[in-house]
Amino acid sequence: QIVRPNAAEFGTDTFTELTGIHCEDHFELVRAWVGDSQVPTDASHAVADLTTDEVEARLHFRLAAHARRAGLSDVADSHFDQAAELTPLDFTVVRAAMPLRGENPFGQEFFDLYGAYREAGSPYHGIPRTSA
């Protein structure tokens, strides 16, 4: 049973300076759920299905990853590009492709992606964050 839909939470405060998000609030929710069976108030949040573009981007990503493993670099790059065009701010697609493309997922490419993501209002497929 899913107790709570997906949310952007962190297990440490390592990146708090960048995200503005502290892990303790989430830890308190987990402790209350595990220790006292208190279900978080946002547990009933309805998360919309993935859009057609999101589904297609994930399929292109999977094809790209398979092509990369098979040594088909040009095919992989084409599918990575198509995935990024469909969902340019989707971390599960764009950032996940970075190390597979020889880019640094903690380098300038990431900061460029994160900046664009923040400028777009931090769109997220899951429980929307009300702070930070």
Q: Please report whether residue 130 resides in a domain.
A: no
Q: Do 39 and 75 share a domain, yes or no?
A: no
pLDDT at position 132:
54
Question: Number of folded domains in the chain?
Answer: 2
Residue 117: phi and psi, rounded to 5, are: -60, -45
Q: Please report whether residue 60 resides in a domain.
A: yes
Q: Do 37 and 57 share a domain, yes or no?
A: no
**What is the identity of the amino acid at 21?**
I
Q: Do 88 and 110 share a domain, yes or no?
A: yes
Q: Do 56 and 32 share a domain, yes or no?
A: no
pLDDT in tens, the chain (132 residues): 667 788 888 889 998 888 888 999 889 988 998 999 888 888 888 888 999 999 999 999 999 999 999 999 999 999 999 999 999 999 999 999 999 999 999 999 999 999 999 999 888 888 877 655
**What is the identity of the amino acid at 127?**
I
Q: Please report whether residue 95 resides in a domain.
A: yes
Q: Do 22 and 72 share a domain, yes or no?
A: no
Q: Do 111 and 60 share a domain, yes or no?
A: yes
Determine the structural domain holding residue 23 and report its residue range: 1-46
Q: Do 35 and 80 share a domain, yes or no?
A: no
Q: Please report whether residue 115 resides in a domain.
A: yes
